[in-house]
Structure 1
Amino acid sequence: MMTQVSVSSIFNVLHFFPIGIVVGIISALLGIGGGLLYVPALSAIGASPIQSVATSLVAITFGAISGTIQNWQMNLLKIEAVLLLTFPAMLTTEIGVGIANALPSKWLLLSFAGLQITAIWLINLKTQLQQENKKAVKIDLSQSNVNSTPILKTQGIGLIAGVLSGLFGVGGGIVMVPLQVLLLKMPIKQAVQTSYGAIILISLWAVSHYVIADSTNVLIIPGLMLGLGSLVGANFGARLLPKLSDHLVRFLFTYLLIFLAGYMSFKAFIL
């Protein structure tokens, strides 16, 4: 069982900022949620599996807040839809946190590796749905309001997202976006905007449960530095993305996640 470590024994806290920049660049280039990268990064520099998951939730909140503020300023944020996802997720987040705390470190890492492999399919599905949306006849977004949203399906998506967020330290967007498009027939941009808004409360709620369970599992300052760094990196990555071919992006995306899944599995077997 890997012993828990303090911030000072992991790394000088200032070093988390450039790590966050790298994560932000990769996330923007490959369309990968920060949680899929923060957890391996924290694990690599000495955090325990449970610390990596809990601290990742602190970091991903920054990206969600930034995206939500932009959507709010552009009047693209549908509060009702966000709340329909958020409240069910808050009910199941504690389940994910409980499972993460109960699982042996080895199985938590192996489960996360499984999530990374699943993410290859989910994010490729998201890309496919995005392409189909572009080809389809444009939808009058004024008709895509909460009154026409199947409430039970939306809440079901929230329930799933809550468990994943608490268990793996991801925001839940990895499943919320494709499921909203598939089940709710929501335009993908609106699905992303809604997901961003929901991630803020879901992540903060999950962090609070980790703090209640054991405050040493949440490395607040490293998480803040990672989050701030990722905001800087994401801006750079977004500018670099148009210069890369789609083939190269897909190649890097697929093999990076396969590599990270292999790394997390390796870490699990040497515990």
Structure 2
Amino acid sequence: MDPLITLLASLAVGLAVGVLSGLLGIGGGTILVPLFKLGYALEPIVSTATSLVTIIPTSISGAIGHIRRKTCVPALGVAAGLGGALTSPVGVWLATVSPDWAIMVAAATVIAYSAITMFKKAIKAPKEGKAAAAGASAAVPSVPRMTRRQLALGVGVGAIAGVASGYVGLGGGFVMVPLMVSLFRIPMKLTSGTSLIAVALLAAPAAVTQALYGNVEWMVAAAVAVGSVPGALWGARLIPHVPERALRFIFSGFLLVGAVMLVLNQAGAL
């Protein structure tokens, strides 16, 4: 493929990934890992490593947008991020000693599980009426105060997400967002930004570890990140204008598509 076309395609993909990242609270790895595997023909371990590197600037950009608009719970995000930062290198180590097919199957399994969990919650969520459409101030809930017990639980959530993140090359938001909705009863309008704060912290040690192993395709990561950084800021701006129930359906559908793509590719259908 022509280098210029590849660059333009990478920028466009990065922009799309960034918007979804800022809107849904994921680092973007759910798209990037299948994309790097299928579109760039990278090896599974290189796909996960390159995804982790790209996730960091994307998540930081989205987190900044959410913090400015007060659409996140910073204390919980930092607690989960620190928990994940401690365990993400463990996930990377597991990936380096696992066969390629195991990494892809694990990624598809955890993504599909998170998708189904969020889809069930979307069905149960009440439909938003006129109040939700009245304006941004009515659409965004107030930021709750976190107790020490909740913050400790947040560290545990982050630790689980950290292992999953390091192993399959995703930011961890695909695990944290459903858990935050379930365990802390926080609406997605606040979990998206909270998750991005955590992802920005927990992805860093895993990305450094992968870089030390020499698994990162730096040019691809840089090209996609140039588009994803402004995209994540834009996605954060969209949060007040998207109904809570719709966010949950978008999140679950988005994850399910990624899981199906990975399974089809591993089976040789793609």
Bin of the TM-score, shorter chain as denominator length: 0.7 to 0.9
Change (3 A) 1:31 1:206: closer
Amino acid corresponding to residue 39 of structure 1 in structure 2: V
Amino acid corresponding to residue 174 of structure 2 in structure 1: I
The partner residue of 2:11 within 6, 17, 26 is: 17
Q: Which residue of 2 aligns with 1:195?
A: 195
Report if aligned partners of 1:130, 1:188 keep a CA contact under 8 Å in 2: no
1:154 and 2:154 correspond: yes
Q: After superposition, what is the alpha-carbon deviation per residue over 1:182-238, rounded to whole angstroms, capped at 9, x for unaligned?
A: 2123343332222111111111121011122x12x1122311221222345564998
Which shows bigger deviation, 188-197 or 89-98?
188-197
1:42 and 2:36 correspond: yes
The partner residue of 1:223 within 197, 215, 221 is: 221
Which residues of 2 match residues 197-216 of structure 1 at below 5 A?
197-212=197-212, 214-215=213-214
Change (3 A) 1:238 1:122: farther
Gaps of 5+ in 2: 132-138
State how far apart, in whole Å, the 1-side matches of 2:252 and 2:181 are: 22
Report if aligned partners of 2:112, 2:259 keep a CA contact under 8 Å in 1: yes
1:112 and 2:107 correspond: yes
Which shows bigger deviation, 119-128 or 218-227?
119-128
Give the RMSD, CA atoms, in angstroms.
Answer: 4.0
Which shows bigger deviation, 28-37 or 171-180?
28-37
Amino acid corresponding to residue 84 of structure 1 in structure 2: A
Amino acid corresponding to residue 204 of structure 2 in structure 1: L
Q: CA deviation at 1:97?
A: 0.7
Which shows bigger deviation, 108-117 or 13-22?
13-22
Report if aligned partners of 1:133, 1:188 keep a CA contact under 8 Å in 2: no
The alignment-based identity, stated in percent, is: 27
The partner residue of 2:63 within 19, 44, 68 is: 68
Change (3 A) 1:106 1:132: same
State how far apart, in whole Å, the 2-side matches of 1:113 and 1:152 are: 29
Report if aligned partners of 1:123, 1:174 keep a CA contact under 8 Å in 2: no
Gaps of 5+ in 1: 1-7
Change (3 A) 1:130 1:96: farther
Amino acid corresponding to residue 206 of structure 2 in structure 1: A
State how far apart, in whole Å, the 1-side matches of 2:73 and 2:261 are: 39
The partner residue of 1:261 within 259, 262, 266 is: 259
State how far apart, in whole Å, the 1-side matches of 2:194 and 2:76 are: 7
State how far apart, in whole Å, the 2-side matches of 1:198 and 1:30 are: 13
Report if aligned partners of 2:78, 2:198 keep a CA contact under 8 Å in 1: yes
